Amino acid sequence: MAEETDLLYSPDILTVQQLINILFGKVNRAFIRKEMTQKSAFPLYTINDFVDLFLSWGLQASALKIAGDKINKIDIPVMMLTQNEKNETQFVLVYKIINAEIHYFSPFSGDAVSPIEAFIKSYQGIVLAVQPKAGAIQQISIPNDEESMDIKRYTQNGIRLYENFLTLEQCDALIAYTEQKEAFKRSKVDIDEYTLSQESIARTSFTAFLAKSQEHTFYYIYEQVSSLLNVPLEYIENLQCVRYYEGQEFKAHFDSGTTNHRVHTLLIYLNDNFVGGETFFPELNYRVIPVKGTALYFKNRDEYTNIIRQSLHAGLPVIDGVKYTCNVWIKDRSVTNKQHKEKTTIPSLSQP
């Protein structure tokens, strides 16, 4: 598993890994990550940096300006520069165009399908065409590398869903209680161990804490988690309910960081009458659609206490409606610190 100092988050790495996998049918994720992080351009690659990178691997690569009404005639796969509604630019990997629809991978939200007309609205007119050729270095496509094996192990043992973890009535009661108590406050994050929790554009939701000592009504949740994961009750943090209005999100982050010892996360979906708001794991290209009463479990640290790279996840923006969740965090020791301060680590492009 990855060491904490190696947890550099770069969407471009994920896009290139997907590209190589499509071109060759296999990919050496560890080699690509090492190559890209060691380049002077890292973590922000320009179009020319990408071209130089692919050429150094013996691939055919060229940057092209192509009008939106012509993109259905280009050879794929290609990387295309796009801009979202928040004016953030990103390269997406287009791997199929069929029946006037574009199938693509975004490192921020995973696989998606969009009508060409809708896609063109975000397309910035720049295409990076990459094709294999004789002489391409073999290292980029040697399968079963350490990172790929980590993904396989994590998918099998580190993440799972528990349907009907809470009843529909229990979910409704939890939402009603937090709203009636007007407990929601603007969510905060920890930047590092020396900085107090603060508001961030990376997390735009609202949070309500439910202390064990004060809210015995919901003590059954603690007992259920303790039994399910076979952990002592005192290892479980106070429940944290989160509310997302339309457009609100939580960008890619790790629940465990240098400021806490969260080994496990159990994310309970309290409603599903909204659009968007999926939980996305960039390193796995795995997106979870919320279902009311279902709990999503994933592991944050390995047996050596290292943060697991594959636990990186995001709460995608809510498109319509209001989303409610309940976070249950389990540490590797008794919870003795005050529970008013959140301990969530936001990785930047250059900071673990």
Q: Does the fold of domain 145-338 match that of domain 11-140?
A: no
CA distances from 34 to 42, 144, 182, 346, 347 (A): 11, 16, 48, 22, 18
Q: Are 84 and 94 in contact (CB under 8 A)?
A: no
Q: What is the pLDDT of residue 342?
A: 42
Query: β-strands 279-281, 286-288: how paired?
Result: antiparallel
Dihedral pair phi/psi, residue 300, rounded to 5°: -100, -30
Q: Which residues contact 235 (CB under 8 A, 6 or more apart)?
A: 330, 331, 332, 333, 334, 335
CATH class as words, domain 145-338: mainly beta
Q: What is the pLDDT of residue 216?
A: 74
Q: What is the pLDDT of residue 224?
A: 93
What is the dotted CATH code of the domain comprising 11-140?
A: 3.90.70.10
352 residues of the chain, pLDDT tens digit each = 343 334 557 899 999 999 999 999 999 999 999 999 999 989 889 999 999 999 999 999 999 999 999 998 889 999 999 998 888 899 999 999 998 999 999 999 999 999 999 999 999 999 999 999 888 899 999 999 999 999 999 999 999 999 999 999 999 999 999 999 898 999 988 766 555 578 888 899 999 998 776 677 788 899 999 999 999 999 999 999 999 999 999 999 999 877 678 999 999 999 999 999 999 999 999 999 999 999 999 999 999 889 999 999 999 999 999 999 999 999 988 986 444 344 444 343 333 2
Where are the domains positioned within the chain?
A: 11-140, 145-338
Question: What tokens does 40 get?
Answer: 């002077």
Record the pTM: 0.90
Q: What is the pLDDT of residue 349?
A: 35
